[in-house]
Chains A and B, each alone.
Chain A
Amino acid sequence: MAKTLLIVDDSATMRKIVMRTVKMSGLDFDKTEEAGNGVEALEKLVAGPVDIMLCDVNMPEMSGTELVKEVRKLPDCESTKIIMVSTESSQELIDGVMADGANGFITKPFTPEKFQEKLSPFMN
């Protein structure tokens, strides 16, 4: 069954790279949306929840870690799978964001195989 995806990153270039890499990984998404920061992402999620959210950690206005906490407060987004995408990969950061409700973590640079590995468990 096709799924919906939301890519959250303050860099438009990175959003395009992520989108391209997702396509290269062969994962089938019915609809893909983008958000340039945490606030924009929340607005989109309130309007309509998504199945999977790929989220940058370092963003202005609202960081990825704050966004995860906010998303988990939304009743309609309980089943949304959140995968963090970041160059930062300290154990403290990863443990913290996982405890707050993220479902996975991908470090940059990434490959289509990495997306395949991390996202495919949530595609069924």
Chain B
Amino acid sequence: MATSLTGVQSQAIGLSKDAFDVFCHDISGMFGVGMECKQQENTAETVSSLTERFKKLAAVNSVKAEGAMDGTFQLIFDQEGLLILSGIIVMLPSTNILQRIKRGTVTDIDGMTDAIKEVGNMLVGSWDKVFREGLEKHGHFVQTDTFIGNPWDDPQEKIGLGEDGEFLFIPYQITIDSYPAFNCGVIFPGAVFDKTQTEEKIRAEVRAKLEAEAAEKAGLEAEEKTEAEEKPDLEAEMKAAIEAEERARIEAEMKAEAEAKMKAEAETETKSKALAERKAETEKKAEAEAEAATDIKADDAGTTASEDAAEPQQSETPESTEGTEAAEDAEPAEDAEPAAGAVSETIQKMVESPAGLPGEHFQISLATCAKDIMQTDVLWGNADDSVQQATEKMQQADVGHMLVGTEGLLDGIVSRSDIASAVSVYLKPMFAKWRRPTDDATLQIRIKWIMTRPVQTIKPDTSLAEILKNMRQSGVRCLPVVDQQDKVVGSVTVFDIFAALLSGDSGTSTAGKTPQAPPLE
């Protein structure tokens, strides 16, 4: 029998061992038992020889195969096996299981029908999993029926095996903890492999023909190859010589450039020192003058208060106005709980303070509103878009958020991090080896199931301080801007705020500029 096995038959036999091993591994993991599976020698069997092997009651799971294997085959457990496995999965005490094995009555089995079916169901699951990964063109296995009892008086009716047929039987012996070892196995009727046997035959003929043609070409190709091998040697030598020359030239240029740069830097440093000293003197002078002016103003305040209220203080610099506004806006923010992942307090302070980072001076004004920094070109998606479609759209537009809704009205918003947490981690390239169909399927999740709603929005005249406060408290990095009719007119992201900060011009809109969101891994 073994000598006449086809490719698919051999593969199926090999994979059946893996499938029983996976089943044992999974049952061990689920129920904390030790399981061991040993393959016995596979044989050709008939109904009468199987009757000898499984004299008592048995559980026979009929499995419908589609794909490389096509038809129905059977997975069988003997009486001890079905009592032990069902007892374990319903968590019966071991003494109870042993008593049932000893008695071996139909009543003992009747009460376990549901559990026995589940054992079969899980075994088919293991088989499907292993064959999906190991057998090319495998479709799927589905458990169609579980027969519990004695099938041998009418095997055709009870388990679909013809009495005069011959089957490939691969027996296994499983041991669980200290329970007695039991027999099980897989019955492959020849018809399951018929489809692939025919295909293999045709393929073998075509292969032979192609090999003959290939042999004819081989002589000609060998000659061409010898000629071709000589050329690359010369080409490689020339290439290496050119590259070495070029490298030497570039190195010389870089050296000269570096020397010039160092010289220039030294000069700049000397100049900067002189400037800084001069600046410090000027600032000191200005401070002294400002103190004197404040004293005079304080004296005048009592008499000119009503005039001040009626007129704007034109003598105040923009920076001093910002300072006042920042102080007003900062108070409630201190009371609020900053959310994790929100815009950092440091950034908010940078905006609120007239001072910048060391060596920098941010000129952004707190009078800046959403409309000054928002992007009007926002990305819209459909609630029925799949995660994959949304990812592609966001990557094409190079944005980190996508608004979901129709005709400018928002239903929700989805971010790259929403998507990253919805899809399987095994989609990351580093886990590619362990990637399974269930992981790929997470790309089909609809956006409507993962998007954030209701969406927090702001108005075009919402101040920058208010926007930052919102972002800090809610932990969001994108706030859609809506008009009086709740229609979206733009969006403000943390990147827009960065852009405004760095541009140093609060009045310049960054509309149309692309925020650089981190790539979705």
Known: A13-B89, A17-B30, A103-B449. A87 touches B124 (CB 8 A): yes
**Contact, CB under 8 Å: B30 / A21:** yes
**Contact, CB under 8 Å: B29 / A111:** yes
A81 and chain B: residue at smallest CB distance:
B449
B27 and chain A: residue at smallest CB distance:
A109
Contact among B26, B128, B449 for A110, CB-based, below 8 A: B26
A59 CB to closest chain B CB (Å) equals: 12
Total number of A residues with any Cβ neighbor in B under 8 Å:
34
Stretch at the interface among A27-35, A45-53, A89-97: A89-97
A38 CB to closest chain B CB (Å) equals: 18
Report if B114 contacts A (CB, 8 A). yes
**Contact, CB under 8 Å: A13 / B115:** yes
> How far is it, in angstroms, between the C-alpha of A101 and the C-alpha of B451 when the chains are bound?
13
**Contact, CB under 8 Å: A107 / B438:** yes
Report if B139 contacts A (CB, 8 A). yes
Report if A75 contacts B (CB, 8 A). no
Contact among B115, B122, B139, B442 for A109, CB-based, below 8 A: B122
A60 CB to closest chain B CB (Å) equals: 13
B411 CB to closest chain A CB (Å) equals: 11
> How far is it, in angstroms, between the C-alpha of A12 and the C-alpha of B129 when the chains are bound?
24
**Contact, CB under 8 Å: B438 / A94:** yes
**Contact, CB under 8 Å: A89 / B129:** yes
A124 and chain B: residue at smallest CB distance:
B421
Contact among B29, B114, B438 for A11, CB-based, below 8 A: B114
Interface positions, chain A 69-124, Cβ under 8 Å from B, are 72, 78, 86-91, 94-95, 98-99, 101-113, 121
**Contact, CB under 8 Å: B125 / A107:** yes
Measured between beta carbons, the chain A residues less than 8 angstroms from B125 are: 86-87, 89, 107-109
Report if A14 contacts B (CB, 8 A). yes
**Contact, CB under 8 Å: B386 / A110:** no
**Contact, CB under 8 Å: A87 / B29:** no
Measured between beta carbons, the chain B residues less than 8 angstroms from A111 are: 26, 29-30
Measured between beta carbons, the chain A residues less than 8 angstroms from B459 are: none
Measured between beta carbons, the chain A residues less than 8 angstroms from B437 are: 89, 91, 94
> How far is it, in angstroms, between the C-alpha of A110 and the C-alpha of B25 when the chains are bound?
10
Measured between beta carbons, the chain B residues less than 8 angstroms from A109 are: 23, 26-27, 30, 122, 125-126
**Contact, CB under 8 Å: A113 / B438:** no
Chain B interface, >50% SS class: helix
B242 CB to closest chain A CB (Å) equals: 52
Interface flags for B115-141 (1: CB within 8 Å of A; 0: not) read 101100110111011001000000110
**Contact, CB under 8 Å: B438 / A89:** yes
Known: A16-B90, A110-B30. A89 touches B132 (CB 8 A): yes
> How far is it, in angstroms, between the C-alpha of A110 and the C-alpha of B129 when the chains are bound?
11
Report if B444 contacts A (CB, 8 A). yes
Total number of B residues with any Cβ neighbor in A under 8 Å:
36
Contact among A99, A106, A121 for B444, CB-based, below 8 A: A99
Report if B446 contacts A (CB, 8 A). yes
Interface flags for B438-479 (1: CB within 8 Å of A; 0: not) read 101110111001000000000000000000000000000000
> How far is it, in angstroms, between the C-alpha of A98 and the C-alpha of B140 when the chains are bound?
18
A17 and chain B: residue at smallest CB distance:
B89
**Contact, CB under 8 Å: A103 / B445:** yes
Measured between beta carbons, the chain A residues less than 8 angstroms from B114 are: 11-13
**Contact, CB under 8 Å: B30 / A98:** no
Contact among A16, A99, A106, A108 for B122, CB-based, below 8 A: A108
Report if B422 contacts A (CB, 8 A). yes
B3 CB to closest chain A CB (Å) equals: 34
Interface positions, chain B 43-93, Cβ under 8 Å from A, are 89-91
Measured between beta carbons, the chain B residues less than 8 angstroms from A95 are: 441, 444
**Contact, CB under 8 Å: A88 / B445:** no
Measured between beta carbons, the chain B residues less than 8 angstroms from A113 are: 29
A93 CB to closest chain B CB (Å) equals: 8
**Contact, CB under 8 Å: B117 / A11:** yes
Measured between beta carbons, the chain B residues less than 8 angstroms from A90 are: 139-140
**Contact, CB under 8 Å: A99 / B140:** no
Measured between beta carbons, the chain A residues less than 8 angstroms from B9 are: none
**Contact, CB under 8 Å: A107 / B118:** no
Measured between beta carbons, the chain A residues less than 8 angstroms from B91 are: 20
Measured between beta carbons, the chain B residues less than 8 angstroms from A88 are: 128, 140, 142
Measured between beta carbons, the chain A residues less than 8 angstroms from B129 are: 89, 107
B338 CB to closest chain A CB (Å) equals: 18
Measured between beta carbons, the chain B residues less than 8 angstroms from A20 are: 91
> How far is it, in angstroms, between the C-alpha of A57 and the C-alpha of B422 when the chains are bound?
21
**Contact, CB under 8 Å: A98 / B128:** no
Measured between beta carbons, the chain B residues less than 8 angstroms from A12 are: 114
> How far is it, in angstroms, between the C-alpha of A87 and the C-alpha of B122 when the chains are bound?
7
Report if B143 contacts A (CB, 8 A). yes
> How far is it, in angstroms, between the C-alpha of A121 and the C-alpha of B121 when the chains are bound?
28
**Contact, CB under 8 Å: B438 / A101:** no
**Contact, CB under 8 Å: B143 / A87:** yes
A-B CB contact pairs (8 Å), 10 listed: A17-B89, A21-B30, A78-B449, A98-B445, A101-B449, A104-B438, A104-B442, A107-B129, A109-B23, A109-B122
Identify the A interface with B (CB < 8 A).
11-14, 16-17, 20-21, 72, 78, 86-91, 94-95, 98-99, 101-113, 121
Besides A72-B449, A102-B445, 9 more A-B contacts (Cβ < 8 Å) are A13-B90, A13-B118, A21-B30, A87-B124, A87-B143, A88-B140, A98-B441, A107-B125, A109-B122
A-B pairs, 8 with minimum CB distance: A87-B125, A109-B26, A111-B29, A94-B441, A98-B444, A108-B125, A109-B122, A90-B140
